[in-house]
Every structure is written in structure tokens, then in C-alpha cells.
Structure 1
Amino acid sequence: MATDAALLEIADELYGLPLPEFTPARDARAKELKGTSLAAQVKALRKPSTAAWVVNLLVRRDTDQVEQVLTVGAALREAQASMSADELRALSRQRRQLTAAVTTGARRIAREEGTRVTEAVADQVEATLTAAMVDERCGLALRSGMLTTALASTGLDPADVEAAVAVPEALGFAAPSRDAEPPARPDLHVVRDPEADAKAVAAATETLDEAEAVVVEATAAYDETVTAVEELEARSLQLQAEIAELRSKIDELEASAEETDDELSDAEDARAEAQSELADATRSRDSAAAALAKLKG
């Protein structure tokens, strides 16, 4: 429908703006559209959370990275469906490395737009990228560039993606790539900033600090997985030893059961023979008693 296409066009424009500009721009567009069916729909567009805005910015400013995320996600889901364990492990590692790297890039892009991304927001950004990899519909929501909230999904249960995008029609829409807007160039002679070098060094130092923080976090996560693997390996060895011990005990019990069965069979034969002898003896006694009684009578 033409109305849906117009709404998507307006939403695409609004969700590509700097975060502080969203609300005034939305309200201005709704005012321009007053008297049309679009006015209320535009006015109802929700301001994105900081994490959603960062992801929307990433989709437009680094489309290739986003496409790589979605491609690896599709391969990961295919590997899960075919139960290819080796490929699944390799893709899982690639997924974690990729989402961490892309999140770092998203933080840099946001910083270039004047927004500093906290660790909490970065975690939501990475969770959104992970959700897009494990859940195809989350991938569609990500690619729309119209998220209003961060996404979270394990891939096991369907995520409520309609509630996370500006309009349901956004699913299937691909936000176009956009370059950063160049700053307005004044009509004055540009004088070199004497502190430019110091500012560049400070910016580079900040970037390095953030990268080192990511490395520290990744190292801690790796150390945790190493510890978990070692603990599980030890537990596996212990269980295998217990299983071997139980199997040995079962073998002993089965041998004892066979011997007992043989002894039981012999005992049953002896009982039958004794029962027969008892019956013969009883009959003989009864005959003797009858003969005696006859003689006495």
C-alpha cells in the first residue's frame, strides 16, 4: 500500500537521525502531515532506546559488517539444523568474535556521532547482534534499521520482534547505507588547531583504552570457559571410573546369580527326591499300622 510505503520512508529517515533529533523531527513531520492518515502513525513512532539507536546507526553506517553478521548467523542456524558439531563449534566461536568486534565498531561510530556508549548499552548492542544471528526474524528486525528496543533471543523460543520495531511493516525492509554527514564548511580561512595533534593522541589513546578493555573482558570470559572445561573433564573422568566400578560389580553379581541358580536347581531336585522318599515311607508306615491293627483285632 502507498500509505505503508510512505510511512516506511518517513520512519527510515527518522530512525537514521541523531538520537536527540528524533523527537522534534518526528513531531515536526506529524505536524506537516496534519489532516492525513499518516499524521497519527508518524506521531506514534517511538523514540529508540540508546542501544537500539546505536544498532540502527550501525546498520546504516557499516552495512557490510551487518550483512556479515546475518550471513554468519544463517550459516550457524544451518549447522544447528544439520547437527554438524565441528562446524557448529567453529561458527559459535566466530559468532562470539564477530559480535564483539562489531560491537566495538558500533561504539566507535556512535562516539563519532557524539554519543558515548556505556558498557551496559554495549552489552545490549551485542545481545541484539547475537539475537539476529540465532533468530532469523530478529535478523530481519535488525536489518530494518528501525529498532526501538534492543533484542534478546536464544533461538529456542520465538522473539516478539514486532514489538521491537517501529512498525510491523519494517520486517523485510532493509535500511539503505548512508555515509556520515560531513560537517558544514564555513566560508572562513581555516586555521590549523594548535592542539590538533594532542587531540588526535587523546582520541587514539581513548580508542586503545576501550580496545584493551574489550581484550580484558574477552580474556576473562576465555579463562572462565577454560575453567569450566577443566572441571567438566575431571567430572567426566570421575563418572567413567564410577561406571567402570559399577560394571565390575554387576559382572560379579551376575556370576553369583548364575551360581545361585545352579544351586537352587540342585536343591529343588533334592527336595523332589526327598518328597518322593517321604511319600514311600509314609505309605509303608500306614500299611504296617494297618497290618498290626488287623492282628490285634
Structure 2
Amino acid sequence: MDADVDVEEVSAQLYGLPPDRFTEARDEQAARARKAGDQQAAKTIAGLRRPTLAAFASNLLVRERPRETAALLELGRALREAHQALHGPQLRELSHRQHGVVSELARTARQLAGEAGSAVSDTVLREVEQTLHAALADPDAAEQWASGRLSRALEPPVGFTGLPPVEPGPRPERAPAPDAPPPPSGTPAPARVDARRLARLERARQAARETGDEAEAREGELRAAVEEQERCEEAAAEAEEHLAEAERRLREVREAQRSAREAVVRSAARVRDLERAAKQARRAADAAAARLGELSPG
């Protein structure tokens, strides 16, 4: 008989587990859904990805520290609003706050994960910090993090997302400048001053172009490295899932082997018992036949 399975509830339970317990628990839940006749739920549950350690620590922080989670989400909203309004003083104040909040929450996540039996390295700690920065910068990332069901760490965007571009306003008309007094003796001619200023301006533009190109190149390398890291994490998670599945099948095969051996032992004991019974019956039959022969007239 078909029965509806609450996938949301199952998912919430699974992503509260340490990564090393996730795969086996997920497969058990998927098997229960199949047994209950809810094939769609079974397919959805079986497709849930095993969380990385950084994702688990981030999820644990959301689950165990709801007040701090709400405070970080509120700080993110305030940061994005200040950035959109181009409110410099407020933006500087909030930006200063976010670094302290992120560091403190990341350390809390590390402690919670350790208490749950999962040690967090410095590399994983940085991934947790990146996830928190992403939740501050991007509302979609904030929603994903606040769900407590991350399967991998989040990457903060370059700058804030979803903000309208700042359109340059009209330049105010400037009153004509009064006639400049003649330069005093020994002052460089205006043409020379303008040439020097233009030369400095050109050098600054060239430096800006070069540093901009360098920044874009490094950002491109960073994006490629992040993508490569994500591919490696996915490959590692997939390999771990295959390993867990192979271990589960091995346990099933060993259980079947143990049951078969026990059946062989029971069968052998029964064969021995039947052999003894058959011999006894044959001896009894032979004795009865002999007595019958003795009693029969010659």
C-alpha cells in the first residue's frame, strides 16, 4: 500500500548527521520509502548528496545556534542595504563588524563539529568562513545556508550581487572661472604644468590598467581553482558513496554467506540423523523379515 514519505523531514534529519554516517542513513531512508511504495520520495532521498565536512559544520552552526544565525542574516541585510545606498560610514562600520562575527561563528562551528566527533582542520575552517561571507553577501546564499542542508561550502561572490548599477548623475554647471592672475616670477608655465599633470595622469591610467588586468587574471585563476576544487570534492563524495554502497553490499554478501554456512551445518546434521534413522529402520526391517522367514512353514 502506497504511503507518503515526508522528504523534507527526512532531509532535515540526514543533514544533521556527520558526513561519515550520512550515506548509510540516506540509503536506509530511501529503502524505507521504496518499501512504503513512495518511489518518487525514494528517488529524491537517494539523490541527496553527502555533505562535505565544511558543509556539515555550517549546517550544525545553523541548527545549534539559531540566535547567532538570525543575527548574521540581519547583518547581511544591513550590509547589502548600505552597499546599495552607498552609505560609506555605515558600510565601513558593518564591514568591520562582519569580520569579527564571521571569525567567531566559524570557531563556534569548529567547536560544534568537534563535539559531534568530526575534527575541523584549518582548511575546512576557511571554507566555513567563506560560506558565512557568502551568506552575508548574497541573499540566495543566505537562504541556502539558513536551511541547514548544505552539501558543500558556499563561495562568496566578488562584491555584492543583485545590486543596481550606480548611474552617474548630471554634472552641475560650473561658473566660468575668473581670469587667472599672471604667474609670479619663477613659476612654471601653465603649459609645462599641464604636460606634467597629463603625464602623471597617463602613468596612473597605465598602472590602473595593468593592476586591473592582473586582478582579472588572478580572479580568473581563482574561479578555475574553485571549480577544480568543487569537481574534486564531487568526485571524492561520489567515490565515498560508491565505497559505502560496496561496503553495504559486502555486508549483505557476508550475511548471506553466514546464513548459507549455517544452513549447510543444519543440513549436514539432518543428513546424519536421517542416515542413522535409515540404518536403524533397515536393521529393523531385516530382523522382521528374518523372523517372518522363521515363522513361515517350510
TM-score by length of 2: 0.52
Would you say 1:152 and 2:91 are equivalent positions? no
CA–CA distance in structure 2, aligned partners of residues 254 and 27 of structure 1: 77
Residues 254 and 42 (structure 1 numbering): CA distance in 2 closer, same or farther, change over 3 Å?
closer
Q: Which runs of 5+ in 1 are unaligned?
A: 160-247, 256-297
CA–CA distance in structure 2, aligned partners of residues 158 and 83 of structure 1: 14
Contact 2:51 2:151 in 1 (8 A): yes
Residues 85 and 27 (structure 1 numbering): CA distance in 2 closer, same or farther, change over 3 Å?
same
Q: Which of 105, 108, 123 in structure 1 is aligned with 2:108?
A: 105
Helix, strand or coil at the partner of 2:149 = coil
CA–CA distance in structure 1, aligned partners of residues 127 and 193 of structure 2: 59
Partner of 1:21: 21
Helix, strand or coil at the partner of 2:48 = coil
Using the TM superposition, name which of 110-119 and 120-129 deviates more.
110-119
Q: Which of 134, 137, 141 in structure 1 is aligned with 2:140?
A: 137
Residues 254 and 49 (structure 1 numbering): CA distance in 2 closer, same or farther, change over 3 Å?
closer
Q: Which of 90, 99, 108 in structure 2 is aligned with 1:87?
A: 90
Alignment-mate amino acid for residue 17 of structure 1: L
Helix, strand or coil at the partner of 1:16 = coil
Partner of 1:55: 58
Residues 5 and 32 (structure 1 numbering): CA distance in 2 closer, same or farther, change over 3 Å?
closer
Cα distance, 1:65 vs structure 2: 1.1
For residues 106-155 of structure 1, what are the alpha-carbon distances to aligned partners after superposition, in whole Å with 9 as ceiling and x for unaligned? 11111111111000000000000000001011000000001001001225
Residues 10 and 250 (structure 1 numbering): CA distance in 2 closer, same or farther, change over 3 Å?
farther
Residues 24 and 101 (structure 1 numbering): CA distance in 2 closer, same or farther, change over 3 Å?
same
Cα distance, 1:9 vs structure 2: 1.6
Would you say 1:68 and 2:7 are equivalent positions? no
CA–CA distance in structure 2, aligned partners of residues 109 and 49 of structure 1: 15
Q: Which of 66, 76, 80 in structure 2 is aligned with 1:77?
A: 80
Residues 253 and 124 (structure 1 numbering): CA distance in 2 closer, same or farther, change over 3 Å?
closer
CA–CA distance in structure 1, aligned partners of residues 117 and 139 of structure 2: 32
Q: What is the aligned-residue identity percentage?
A: 33
Partner of 1:237: none
Contact 2:15 2:148 in 1 (8 A): yes
Cα distance, 1:6 vs structure 2: 2.3
- Structure 1 runs of 4+ aligned residues shifted over 3 Å read 155-159, 252-255
Partner of 1:11: 11
Cα distance, 1:18 vs structure 2: 2.6
Alignment-mate amino acid for residue 72 of structure 1: L
CA–CA distance in structure 2, aligned partners of residues 68 and 30 of structure 1: 36
Q: Which runs of 5+ in 2 are unaligned?
A: 163-186, 195-298
CA–CA distance in structure 2, aligned partners of residues 156 and 42 of structure 1: 35
Partner of 2:32: 32
CA–CA distance in structure 2, aligned partners of residues 91 and 4 of structure 1: 46
CA–CA distance in structure 2, aligned partners of residues 134 and 4 of structure 1: 38
For residues 77-104 of structure 1, what are the alpha-carbon distances to aligned partners after superposition, in whole Å with 9 as ceiling and x for unaligned? 0100110111111111101110001001
Cα distance, 1:39 vs structure 2: 0.6
Contact 2:135 2:141 in 1 (8 A): yes
Partner of 1:251: 190
Residues 78 and 157 (structure 1 numbering): CA distance in 2 closer, same or farther, change over 3 Å?
closer
TM-score by length of 1: 0.52
